[in-house]
Amino acid sequence: MSQQSIKRVVIIGAGFGGLFAARTLAGKPIEVLLIDRNNYHTFTPLLYQVATCALDPSEIAYPVRRIFHNNTNIHCKMGEVTDIDKTHKTITIEVNGEQYLEEYDYLIIATGSLPTYFGNDRFQANTFELQSLDDAVRLRNHILRLFERAAWTNDNEERKALTTLLVVGGGPTGLETAGALYELYSHVIEREFRGNELLKARVILVEQRSHLLAAYPEKLRQDAFDQLNSLGVEIILENPVTVVAEDYIQLGNGITIPTNTVVWTAGVQGSTAAGFLGIDLTNSNRIPVKTTLEVNGCQQIYAVGDNTYLEYPNGAPYPMLIPVAIQQGVLAAQNILRHIQGTDQKPFQYFDRGIMATIGRNRAVAWMFNRIPVKGYLAWIAWLFLHLLTLIGFRNKLIVLVNWIWNYFTFDRSVRIILD
Amino acid sequence: MSQQSIKRVVIIGAGFGGLFAARTLAGKPIEVLLIDRNNYHTFTPLLYQVATCALDPSEIAYPVRRIFHNNTNIHCKMGEVTDIDKTHKTITIEVNGEQYLEEYDYLIIATGSLPTYFGNDRFQANTFELQSLDDAVRLRNHILRLFERAAWTNDNEERKALTTLLVVGGGPTGLETAGALYELYSHVIEREFRGNELLKARVILVEQRSHLLAAYPEKLRQDAFDQLNSLGVEIILENPVTVVAEDYIQLGNGITIPTNTVVWTAGVQGSTAAGFLGIDLTNSNRIPVKTTLEVNGCQQIYAVGDNTYLEYPNGAPYPMLIPVAIQQGVLAAQNILRHIQGTDQKPFQYFDRGIMATIGRNRAVAWMFNRIPVKGYLAWIAWLFLHLLTLIGFRNKLIVLVNWIWNYFTFDRSVRIILD
């Protein structure tokens, strides 16, 4: 194959979708440019463990250049994509205030999702998110600092707000975060504050619906509720959030809860990059794609993962889950190779292994292959091993394992440093 | 002993001096308040490894509350001391904009040191320091970001400045940092940048004196020079820094070196807290103390570690080293106990095990018991074990050991994430 005919694929985003697209193209006779705003891939399912002092940021992040350092056809660069020019087939990247243009023959958009406040964007100013490693470290610093402030104050009302941690959203991230926050308090913080600084912390989970874990069958929803409740987390259902202020939150039923910490896990929407395409997006800002993952109405542009909207043959949308993003990333890359070779592209078919959520030490629920319900210790062990195996990098697997064993047997959370 | 007679010791600073003072007082019939601006103790000798991507911040930091969570007479609080009132025996602490007063019967000042620019404070705006964990993470982020920027730019002059790393100061910290920066470049960065972004990095060490490692005998100075030189670090001696700008540095001989990274390790002075005492300090802002470590002219106030000035019987000052701080911390605590019991206080006697500095993989020099010179692999292994054993916390020891073994055999630096 001559130099002239080598096609250039640009992938925006090194999350699960983009990463697996690049892996699929590694070693193939094409040139790949993988761009991300960070220099690392983030293992997002464990962000809540960074936020709650169980793991270090670098243990769930892996340098993108390192992943592909043996694949000479894959180039990785760090930068923020600010525009897509479909006519000239270029994208604009901003790096340290300078603009750079990169040409593509094929483009894969894999920029993931952002939190949505369902129209109440004013909530954002006083909430914490858990979408990125920066978010997780910010939340960790915030919580640890609040407890240190609570140890000084003589004002009981102030102390209540400082030691009440509120999580909005009854999905897997909400449950995991609430459970881990409660354990951080009851296993670690409570033991180390004493005398007149003794803290009485509350962790509250707020969900607008009448149940937790909307994607799970009724039986497992109840199991999850019971497990979280038995841990010590207070659960408030059927209540929307109406006000989020700096030191309190108000709910639909009029109740006001003093708190300096609101973690928002109530929902996500497609990322901003979708807007650069100049096409109609869905309500939740996602990019509608054909079954081949080509963007509707765009030439040689594919979209994969959370920022993509595609329906099952029965009309239900594919969920915004990592396995969907991975399988779409692989298929988009394969379809590009097929297009280059002039063969037929294949439609997306999701191989669904099921869903799982962890609630705390020895507590979890799983809905395996969407048929088999599992709960408690067994589901928790399954969750641990699955996540450990999916982590990228042998060192990360090893260090996370050491930390998990350490935390399990000592009830400690080792990464409790406030670092700005 | 009745409640009324329980004395209160306040220790400012949870570095090596303050920590060992508190340990000495643990379990004794007195109340101890240990205050630090951070919620953790920092193992400062390994800061350069955090800055050069070999270790995670939390691996060399340990939560202060955790260290003393079994010692009920020791209370730990996070806050910034802003004043000392010798008359009323109180100190002022600022926490989140609020002021708190704490009373003491005995005070130990163990606030350590700050970098000194020897009168050229304007240098500080464009230099990086390595005194705190924040400093180390800031330098790590900066260097990784510069290399990513260098991969984009087409301007060769700009790229030169981005990829030239300069360390000022030929002491142990300067050598360790320069060596580790060179290895970060040659073992990691160089392998992952390719094609037209191929980087040619330089690491330069600048020292004003005619030799490195002023505290070492002539033979070891030369060994250190040779080892650092053979690694690939450029060494410029007998040249003071005259200008530090954002993208270049100028030396006394008129030479200008384009660089965006100047790490300042040229010297330290006593910390600002010394100024709250209202007494005459030394030139380098240190607190003159009696041989019992009581501050000259102050009642029941002790000072230990880097912010303290005390001379050997022969008139030479004790060096600003961790073993001095540790031994002073222990003695100050013991002397307070002796004072409470009405017995004679003891003078400081330094048990000197010698000094060592590491230069890079398999490279180090040691001057054991100030009599036995050791260099190369043997000194390096001794350095590793000594530092591993001195680290606080079993988990930290274990994880640092895993990381060191990993880095040694893979030539990798795992913690290469840019995190603001």
Q: What is the pLDDT of residues B296-324, one digit of tens each?
A: 999 999 999 999 999 999 999 999 999 99
With cut-offs at 50, 70 and 90, classify the pLDDT of residue A45: very high
**Where are the domain boundaries for CATH 3.50.50.100 in chain A?**
121-266+354-410
Contact B70, B410 (CB under 8 A): no
pLDDT at residue A1 in the model = 41
The answer, yes or no, to whether residue B196 has pLDDT greater than 80, is: no
Query: Quick one: closest CA in A to B93, which residue?
Result: A152
Cβ atoms of B55 and B49 closer than 8 Å: yes
Q: Best of B39, B82, B138 to disrupt the A interface by mutation (most A CBs within 10 Å)?
A: B39
Q: Which of A134-148, B123-137, B145-159, B333-347 has the lowest mean pLDDT?
A: B145-159
Mean pLDDT, rounded, of chain B: 93
CATH of B121-266+354-410, one of 3.50.50.100, 3.20.20.150, 3.40.50.1950, 3.50.50.60: 3.50.50.100
Contact indicator for A51, A360 with CB cutoff of 8 Å = no
pLDDT at position B395 is 82
Contact A420 B100 (CB under 8 A): no
The pLDDT score that the predictor gives to residue A134 is: 96
Q: Tell me how far apart the alpha carbons of residues A36 and A38 are, in angstroms, rounded to a whole number.
A: 5
Looking at residue A3, its pLDDT comes to 47
Mean pLDDT value across residues A125-129: 97
Nearest to A420 among B98, B134, B393 (CB): B134
Kindly report, as residue ranges, where domains of CATH 3.50.50.60 are found in chain A. 3-37+79-115+268-341
pLDDT of res. A141:
96
On the question of pLDDT at B197 being above 80, the answer is no
Query: Encoding tokens for residue B93?
Result: 């602490």
CA angle A7, A8, A9 (to 5 degrees): 120
A379 versus B200: which is more confidently predicted?
A: A379
Query: How confident is the model at residue B94, as a pLDDT?
Result: 96
**Contact indicator for A233, A204 with CB cutoff of 8 Å:** yes
> What value does the mean pLDDT take over residues B274-279?
92
CB contact under 8 A, A395 and B416: no
**pTM of the predicted structure, to 2 decimals:** 0.94
What residues contact residue B75 under an 8 Å CB cut-off, 6+ apart?
A: A194, A195, A197, B31, B32, B33, B34
Q: Which residues pair with A90 in a beta bridge?
A: A85, A103
Enclosing H/E stretch for A387: helix A377-390
Q: Is the pLDDT assigned to residue B194 strictly greater than 80?
A: no
Is the pLDDT at B333 greater than 80, yes or no? yes
Which member of B63, B93, B149 has the closest CB to residue A416?
A: B63
Integer CA distances (angstroms), B197 to A69, A77, A340, in order: 14, 10, 27
- What are the tens digits of pLDDT across the range B86-134? 999 999 999 999 999 999 999 999 999 999 999 999 999 999 999 999 9
Mutate to test the interface with A, among B55, B72, B140, B416 (most CBs of A within 10 A): B416
Name the DSSP letter for residue A318.
P
Identity of residue A90? T
Query: What per-residue confidence (pLDDT) applies to A287?
Result: 97
Q: Is A54 helix (H, G, I), strand (E, B) or coil?
A: coil
Q: B397: how many CB neighbours lie within 10 A of its CB?
A: 16
Q: Is residue B241's pLDDT more than 50?
A: yes
Report the C-alpha gap between A226 and B109 in whole angstroms: 51
- Cross-chain Cβ contact B100/A152 below 8 Å: yes
Q: Are B57 and A419 within 8 A, CB to CB?
A: yes
Specify the pairing of strand A74-78 against strand A31-36: parallel
**CB atoms < 10 A from the CB of A352, how many?**
15
Contact status, residue B25 vs residue B333, Cβ threshold 8 Å: yes
Please name the member of B77, B152, B415 whose beta carbon is closest to the beta carbon of A100.
B152
Beta-strand pair A256-258/A308-309:
unpaired
In tens, the pLDDT along A303-358 reads: 999 999 999 999 999 999 999 999 999 999 999 999 999 999 999 999 999 999 99
Mean pLDDT of A203-227: 95
pLDDT at B201: 87
How confident is the model over A228-244, as pLDDT tens digits? 999 999 999 999 999 99
- Tell me yes or no: is domain A3-37+79-115+268-341 CATH 1.10.3720.10: no
Assess whether pLDDT exceeds 60 at residue A387: yes
Give the CA-trace dihedral at A371, A376, A381, A387, to 10 degrees: 70
Measured from the Cβ of residue A96, the count of other Cβ atoms closer than 10 Å reads 13
Report percent pLDDT > 70 for chain A.
Answer: 98
- Show residues of chain A in contact with B145, CB under 8 Å: 96
The pLDDT of A23-51, averaged and rounded, is 96
Residue A210 is encoded by which pair of tokens? 């009448």
3-state secondary structure (DSSP) of residue A104: coil
| CA gap A361, A358 in Å, rounded | 8
Mean pLDDT of A18-45: 97
Confidence at B3, pLDDT banded by 50, 70, 90: very low
pLDDT, tens digit (0-9, with 9 covering 90-100), for A247-294: 999 999 999 999 999 999 999 999 999 899 999 999 999 999 999 999
pLDDT at A209 over 70: yes
**Strand locations in A271-345 (E):** 287-288, 301-303, 308-309
ipTM over 0.90? The verdict is yes
A138-167 core/surface letters (b: 16 or more CB in 10 A; e: else): bbbbbbbbbbbbbbbbeeeebbbbbbbbbb
What pLDDT does B213 receive?
Answer: 95
**Å from A127 to nearest chain B CA?**
19
Query: How confident is the model over A400-414, as a mean pLDDT?
Result: 84
Catalytic-residue membership of A31: no
Residue B195 has pLDDT above 80, yes or no: no
CA-CA distances (angstroms) from residue A249 to A195, A240, A252, A255, B275? 29, 11, 10, 8, 44
Model confidence at B198: pLDDT above 80: no
pLDDT at position B410: 81
